[in-house]
């Protein structure tokens, strides 16, 4: 029988079994293929997490070395597309540029598409950033990991190991996270058998929004506006009087603190000269949480991953305009994993809607206006 109760945000609706990851919103825990996010970051880099996610689903799955080689060769392949990309992406933001870049990749490409997209995103992002600063794009180095090479291609030279490790930790932390909006979008497109590149591109488009992957840039804008700690409480009073949504707080699933926030906060602490900024962020966070309790009592809102993402990417000297695009580099591994899983066992995803428009007059309805 047709149900007419509308659940516009699909809260609590379970649409698939998945072996990829579990987000426990009550306990504040994230498990990725049997490992806690804290374990993953301590033991695996980005390539290791991709190999884990793809294990049993795709070429290279379970084999970190194969993934590292696959990514390296895909970065080389993608670099050949950079001149065309730069021509087509003039005047666009980095995430818009990645949208163009993924759109340029052909379904007829022979290289396995999961490698291709995961290799192309860092190359395209670095090229877009370099050229926005009037510098020429650097060719990838196949001997490096994604994090090492991405920082090198952005900066023009290898970064200190501590920065490379921090970026690697970030990419590993955000690689997968249940049925978030972009992953679900990618799976919907995959369910039509449109192919991996189209499905990843759809995921990227969903990630771009400020309610999902677009939040960390505005977290830094908020820090700028607050300016100094003694202004924080008044700033939040003013923000709530205007109905402002605080970026970096709240989550559909987590009713407690997002565990990734602390993983990234600890990563920021490993970087030189971050103590002052970190102390500021911690105090602003306390003030934000207090304001959320005051103005949104009972809503169970807490810090999400994007709050300390903002701080970490700032410490890595990534421009704010590129934060969402960088998120896509890490999340691409998870999107691919979910696409494989969807293709392997899923049916076309096709929900129902409740029609509230006019009915034909011949059926006894009122005339259309």
Binding site for ligand ACO (CB under 6 A): 9, 180, 211-213, 215, 245-252, 296, 299, 301, 304-306
- The residue number with the shortest CB distance to ligand ACO is 250
| Residue 361 Cβ vs ligand ACO, minimum distance, rounded to whole Å | 38
Q: Compute the distance between CA of residue 6 and CA of residue 212 in angstroms, rounded to an integer.
A: 22
Please, what is the Cα angle at 274 between 269 and 277, to 5 degrees? 115
Closest C-alpha among 110, 23, 99 to residue 73: 110
Q: How far is the CB of 265 from ligand ACO (least distance, A)?
A: 15
d(CA 367, CA 360): 7
Distance of closest approach, residue 145 Cβ to ligand ACO, in angstroms:
23
- Residue 180, token pair as written in the block: 């978030």
**Which one, 7 or 245, has the nearer CB to ligand ACO?**
245
Q: Indicate the SS3 state at residue 179.
A: strand
Give the residue from 152, 143, 100, 96 showing the smallest Cα distance to 122.
Answer: 152
SS3 assignment, position 298: coil
Query: Torsion-angle region of residue 227: left (phi > 0), alpha (psi -120 to 50) or beta?
Result: left
Nearer to ligand ACO, 57 or 254 (CB): 254
Q: Name the residue nearer to ligand ACO (CB basis): 277 or 296.
A: 296
Residue closer to ligand ACO (CB basis): 122 or 248: 248
CB 293 within 8 A of CB 303: no
SS3 assignment, position 318 = coil
* One-letter-per-residue 3-state SS of 27-83: CCEEEECCEEHHHHHHHCCHHHHHHHHHCCCCCCCCCHHHHHHHHHHHHHHHHCCHH
Q: Say how far apart CA 310 and CA 227 lie, in whole Å.
A: 16
CA nearest to 335, candidates 89, 24, 343: 343
> Which C-beta is closer to ligand ACO: that of 57 or that of 179?
179
Least distance between ligand ACO and beta carbon 103 (Å) = 23
Please state whether beta strands 21-24 and 29-32 pair in parallel, antiparallel, or not at all (unpaired): antiparallel
Name the residue nearer to ligand ACO (CB basis): 296 or 320: 296
- Nearest distance from C-beta of residue 135 to ligand ACO, angstroms: 30
Active site residues: 251, 306
Find the shortest distance in angstroms from Cβ 81 to ligand ACO: 28
Question: b/e string for 206-237 if b means 16 or more Cβ within 10 A?
Answer: bbbeeebbbbbbbbbebbeebeeeeebbebbe
Nearer to ligand ACO, 149 or 258 (CB): 258
Tokens matching residue 201: 């591109």
Whole-number minimum distance, CB 287 to ligand ACO, in Å?
Answer: 13
């Amino acid at each position: 029988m047709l149900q007419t109760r509308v659940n516009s945000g699909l809260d609590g609706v379970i649409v698939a079994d998945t072996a990829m990851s579990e987000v426990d919103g009550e306990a504040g825990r994230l498990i990725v293929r049997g490992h806690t996010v804290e374990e993953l970051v301590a033991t695996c880099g980005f390539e290791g997490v991709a190999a884990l996610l793809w294990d049993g689903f795709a070429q290279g799955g379970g084999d970190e070395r194969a993934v590292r080689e696959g990514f390296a060769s895909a970065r080389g392949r993608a670099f050949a597309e950079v001149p065309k990309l730069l021509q087509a992406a003039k005047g666009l933001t980095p995430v818009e540029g990645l949208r163009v870049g993924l759109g340029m990749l052909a379904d007829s490409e022979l290289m396995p598409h999961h490698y291709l997209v995961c290799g192309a995103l860092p190359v395209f992002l670095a090229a877009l950033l370099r050229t926005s600063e009037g510098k020429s794009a650097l060719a990838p180095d196949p001997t490096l990991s994604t994090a090492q090479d991405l920082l090198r291609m952005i900066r023009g030279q290898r970064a200190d190991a501590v920065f490379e490790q921090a970026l690697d930790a970030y990419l590993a932390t955000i690689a997968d996270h249940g049925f978030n909006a972009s992953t679900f979008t990618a799976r919907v497109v995959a369910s039509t058998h449109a192919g991996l590149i189209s499905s990843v591109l759809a995921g990227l488009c969903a990630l771009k929004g400020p309610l999902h992957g677009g939040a960390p840039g505005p977290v830094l804008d908020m820090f700028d506006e607050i300016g100094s700690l003694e202004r924080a409480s008044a700033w939040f009073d003013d923000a709530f009087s205007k109905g402002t949504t605080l970026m970096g707080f709240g989550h559909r699933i987590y009713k407690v603190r997002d565990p990734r926030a602390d993983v990234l906060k600890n990563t920021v602490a490993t970087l030189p000269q971050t103590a002052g900024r970190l102390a500021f962020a911690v105090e602003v966070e306390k003030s934000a949480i207090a304001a959320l309790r005051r103005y949104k009592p009972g809503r169970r809102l807490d810090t999400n991953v994007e709050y300390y993402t903002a701080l970490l990417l700032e410490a890595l000297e990534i421009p704010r305009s590129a934060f969402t695009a960088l998120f896509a580099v890490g999340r691409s591994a998870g999107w691919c994993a979910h696409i494989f899983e969807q293709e392997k066992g899923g049916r076309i995803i096709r929900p129902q809607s409740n029609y509230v428009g006019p009915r034909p007059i011949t059926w006894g309805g009122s005339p259309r206006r």
